[in-house]
Amino acid sequence: MSDPADMAALLGQPVADMHPLHGGDLSAVFAVTLADGDRVAVKRGPLVAVEGRMLAAMAQARAPVPRVLAQAGDLLALDWLKETRPAPDAWADLGQALRALHGQTGDSYGWSEAYAFGTAPIRNAPQDDWPTFWAENRLLALAPTDAALAKRVEALAACLPDLLPAAPPAALLHGDLWAGNVLFSGPRAWLIDPACYYGDPEVDLAMLHLFGQPGPGFADAYGPLPDGWQARRPVYTLWPALVHLRLFGGGYRDMVAGLLDACGV
């Protein structure tokens, strides 16, 4: 449990109430009510300062993200977003917002800081060649301990120059865009818990389709994808599957094997 005194020092006033929220795989999350009645979300974890900088970069690109209120040490305070049912146009709004986020581009692939999902490292060392980035910083960095699967991942990594574009737009990515990191509040869909870097926009879309489908209006609002996206999708979906295998164990082995089948290795 976090110390209310730490929260009060961060936010500049006493804490009237606080309780933990669900989730918290990467950081503990708390709903904090202040003495003046305002409510904020506070995250506690070793990488919250990096997350705060990611949220600031996304906000500069006009993405719908919670506002950073304060950050110090291992604490990050954010605007409170009350979760609601999706509004009729919320998925279309998300499609437009994600297209705008991906319109913000960088000079190379990667990010200025490394990140992690718990014990799963996220290497972000910049690369000018996209297949090299995806091979070294994503697939090989999380190669399974299962020798047979690892051999197949290595074989796929060697084939990436034939499967992925060498120089897609280096778009600003959310980086962990599964459905649980889309929060509906009021009329909008908000993006939370980023793991940002610059890369192929199709990465975010692959992740968003991993455990379900975006709602009505999303695809039309986002717009068309480059030819061949269907063949690339399992290559991009494989990385979050490897993350889940690393973090949660053998229950995800069949998912990884199936995606490798779809990749043709």
Residues taking part in catalysis: 176
Q: Is 98 helix (H, G, I), strand (E, B) or coil?
A: helix
Cα(75)–Cα(125) distance, integer angstroms: 26
Torsions phi, psi for 119 (to 5 deg):
-90, 0
How is residue 108 written in tokens?
A: 């190379």
Which stretch of DSSP H or E encloses residue 75?
strand 75-79
Q: Do residues 43 and 55 lie in contact, with contact meaning Cβ atoms separated by under 8 Å?
A: no
Q: Do residues 127 and 110 lie in contact, with contact meaning Cβ atoms separated by under 8 Å?
A: yes
Query: Residue 129 class from Cβ within 10 Å (0-12 exposed, 13-18 middle, 19+ buried)?
Result: middle
Cα(124)–Cα(245) distance, integer angstroms: 20
Cα(87)–Cα(80) distance, integer angstroms: 18
Q: How many CA atoms lie less than 13 Å away from 9 in the CB half-sphere? A: 9
Query: Residue 140 class from Cβ within 10 Å (0-12 exposed, 13-18 middle, 19+ buried)?
Result: middle
Q: Do residues 139 and 123 lie in contact, with contact meaning Cβ atoms separated by under 8 Å?
A: no
Q: Is 29 helix (H, G, I), strand (E, B) or coil?
A: strand
Cα(184)–Cα(192) distance, integer angstroms: 10
